[in-house]
Amino acid sequence: MAPAISVEIEKKHIDEAVERAKAGLSKSESYYYGDRLTPGLQLRVQGRQAFWALKYFNFTKVIGYTYPAEDRHLPSVTAARKLAAACKDILDDDPKMLEPMLVKYYGGAVRDVKKAKKEMVAVSSGWTVQETAEAMIEARTKPDTDQPIKANTIAQFRLTLRRPQVAGLAKKPIADVTKADLDAIKREMDKHPGGASMIKKFVSDIRSILTWGATHASDTTGLDPSNIWWELVKSGKKTKAITRNPTIDDLIKTLILAEEYVSKPLPGRFSEGKYGVGDNVLNSLWWLVLSAQRATAGTRLRLVDFFPDPKRLESGWYLAFWAEADMKNSTAFVLPVPPRAVQFLQERLAKAKRRGDSQWCFPSSQEQGTVEADIPVDRNSPGGIIERLAVRDNPSRKKIERELKKNKKWESPYRDLLSENGVMYWSPHDIRRALTEVAEDHGIPGGASAVLAHEVKLSDDLLWVDNARNREQADALRVARVTKLAYGAGQFIPLKSKAMVAWTDTILDRYEELSPRVQAIRALERRARIEPYIYKDVGAIDQAVALARERLPAEIEAARDQLVIATETYNEMAARSDVKLHHIGEAKQRKADAEEALRLLLEEPHHFLADQSLAIRGQTLPGIMRPDYVAFDFKLEAPEYLEDRKRYISGEMSMQEFKAYLTAKHDFDFTLSADNLYLPGKDPRDALQQAA
């Protein structure tokens, strides 16, 4: 450190120091003036800063800055000398009091050393804003508190204090906080794109912290309960209510997109080294869609709280239960889940990765530090899927902003998959509005209220505590108590059930219609069900046609008789004057129909042979051996094959050509050595097993 130049510091020295600071000094350079009139007071220049320092015995403290002027600006030597003298007095008495005095000095509207020294005693040992907030959180999470707060509220308090605009305030003694401090933070937040919402949260949270500190810890905060000035602080902002109303197709198309990226990275994210969507998180999003519950509670569903409804054991109905602590309004809730939705969800849960004996339906795959913790997926994770599909997640947006700053022509590798597929952006909370519309369309608007209102009261303590010695007995008792709660007076389980059937059927029906994977599976299932009967019919067709051909002469003779009767009837009616014209017209049409029927039998007998051979296939050897083949409804299940079959019977194709045609169409194997009706590797049943 270079020695201080001893001078009587004047304005010219201050100006010179400011100029040197503006130009900047290297790390190895420094510049000092020592004031002759106030021993220990120094004007220093280091790097790009010019500041006042007080060197007193073995103590050195920066007490103000001449450049830059953003923080603790002390521009004149007169003010510096007065402040240095006051600091020496403080250091003689108690060095710990120096910083509180400086806070008071610079925090006042007028720089007054005497007033700062007088007021600094009140904050010398007081809690900071951060310390007060943590004390409040600790107090309000105790079992006997009359103001309980949930985990998401705690997270919101801590998020507010972590924001860069609030970082300085969080470290400040809470008794030193002024309305001017809060107003300044509001102005900074207002520069942010989401400033309105941020400001409202900040004002609400800081008022809660200050009020708790004044009413419960005035001795350690220094806050005066009789002067709650912060109640005058208002956000001054009105946030626009989110009124997104996604359609069922929006929900389903998003889920289908998410399923596609369980096994591959999202576009532009290959460098992340992982697939785009996790199974457990996707399952939780599916559950939020099927149950229409809030994300905080929905993701925290325990396996023990999702069980068959004891009142409807053989029906497939389940009950899902949440205790008060899991619900937003601190009211326990029971939701009936229809059998179809239960089966769908359980199939997904069975395929998902689980970590040991997790207690959660949707366990997180994340690790906390180096410890594998049994925790549910984060409540924001299901919505995070939608954000990533729409490139609205913060990491992607920040990267795009950074790259565009470097190069305005930079082309983003990310793709907004929702927009590309005509899907409106939505969040899990929007599902609740969609449920209301579906319930109203089904004539049960009250059902939506029952599903969403969380009206069940819980008198017994059913909060989850995993400390039972006999887990099986404890689980059984829990099921019995939840069931009693669910079917108690005024719990609306029948009404909820109707609404849940209408809602989940709407979701799953549309999913089956739109999902390429489901459609592919349905096609494989249809092939596996229908094609064996087509294959069987090819082996029986010649025998059935031969039997039908034996009946053809009798059918032709019967058709001739019908034509004679129809002709005579028509001629008789046409010769009479008392017969109405429309009756004559009907008789004429019957005569024409009889003529056409006889013509078809004589000129195009394959129509009769095709229909008759199908009807009498039970008389063939394959029909005798396979009653299920005889019962199969070709007209309903395989109308296209009947057209192909008729073409063969008409002589348009030979049997060899017919089999070749069906082989190309259905992958059949008609070779004599075949031990399977399909060509190798073409059996749809094998493909179904792989899909499952």
SS3 sequence of 517-572: HHHHHHHHHHHHHHHHHHHHHHHHHHHHHHHHHHHHHHHHHHHHHHHHHHHHHHHH
Q: Tell me if residue 463 falls in helix, strand or coil.
A: coil
pLDDT confidence of 317, banded at 50, 70, 90? Answer: very high
Q: Tell me if residue 229 falls in helix, strand or coil.
A: helix
Residue 481: per-residue pLDDT: 61
Mean pLDDT of the chain: 85
Pairing type for strands 49-56 and 306-308 reads: unpaired
As given in the structure block, the two tokens for residue 161 are: 């204090």
As given in the structure block, the two tokens for residue 116 are: 């700062």
Q: What is the pLDDT of residues 480-520, one digit of tens each?
A: 666 666 565 445 788 888 889 999 999 999 999 999 989 99
| pLDDT for 94 beyond 70 | yes
Residue 466: per-residue pLDDT: 45
pLDDT confidence of 628, banded at 50, 70, 90? Answer: very high
CB proximity list for 217: less than 8 A, separation 6 or greater: 127, 132, 135, 223
Instruction: Report the predicted TM-score, pTM, of the whole model to 2 decimal places.
Output: 0.61
Q: What is the pLDDT of residues 410-421, one digit of tens each?
A: 888 888 999 999
CB proximity list for 317: less than 8 A, separation 6 or greater: 308, 309, 336, 337, 338, 339, 342, 497
| pLDDT for 59 beyond 70 | yes
Quick one: which of 464, 485, 486, 461 has its CA closest to 475?
464
As given in the structure block, the two tokens for residue 391 are: 């490139």
Is residue 360 within 8 A of residue 483, CB to CB? The reply is no
| Alpha carbon 303 to chain centroid, angstroms | 20
Is residue 18 within 8 A of residue 47, CB to CB? The reply is no
What DSSP state is assigned to residue 191?
T
How many percent of the chain have pLDDT more than 70? 88
H-helix or E-strand containing 184? helix 179-189
Is-cis flag, bond preceding 164, omega within 30? no
Helix-, strand-, coil-residue percentages of the chain, each rounded to 5:
60, 10, 35
Burial class (CB within 10 angstroms; exposed 0-12, middle 13-18, buried 19+) of 325: middle
Is residue 33 within 8 A of residue 42, CB to CB? The reply is yes
Pairing type for strands 318-322 and 59-67 reads: unpaired
* Cα–Cα dist 508/131, whole Å: 50
H-helix or E-strand containing 259? helix 248-260
H-helix or E-strand containing 5? strand 5-7
Q: Tell me if residue 363 falls in helix, strand or coil.
A: strand
Pairing type for strands 59-67 and 31-35 reads: unpaired
pLDDT confidence of 88, banded at 50, 70, 90? Answer: very high
Q: What is the pLDDT of residues 438-472, one digit of tens each?
A: 888 888 877 777 777 544 344 444 444 444 444 45
As given in the structure block, the two tokens for residue 563 are: 């034509």
What radius of gyration do the chain's Cα atoms show?
Answer: 42
H-helix or E-strand containing 88? helix 77-93
Quick one: which of 440, 454, 279, 423 has its CA closest to 349?
279
Is residue 536 within 8 A of residue 281, CB to CB? The reply is no
Is residue 126 within 8 A of residue 171, CB to CB? The reply is no
Per the listing, tokens 């800063």 go with 49
Q: Which amino acid makes up residue 203?
A: V
pLDDT confidence of 271, banded at 50, 70, 90? Answer: low
What DSSP state is assigned to residue 96?
G
Q: Tell me if residue 608 falls in helix, strand or coil.
A: helix
Neighbours of 103 (CB within 10 A): 19
Residue 52: per-residue pLDDT: 94
Per the listing, tokens 């220990």 go with 40
Q: What is the pLDDT of residues 136-169, one digit of tens each?
A: 999 998 888 888 887 778 888 988 999 999 988 9
Quick one: which of 152, 161, 153 has its CA closest to 133?
161
Q: Tell me if residue 327 falls in helix, strand or coil.
A: coil
Which neighbouring-strand residues pair with 334?
321
Which neighbouring-strand residues pair with 67?
50
Quick one: which of 381, 382, 384, 392 has its CA closest to 415?
392
Q: What is the pLDDT of residues 649-680, one digit of tens each?
A: 999 999 999 999 999 999 999 987 777 899 98
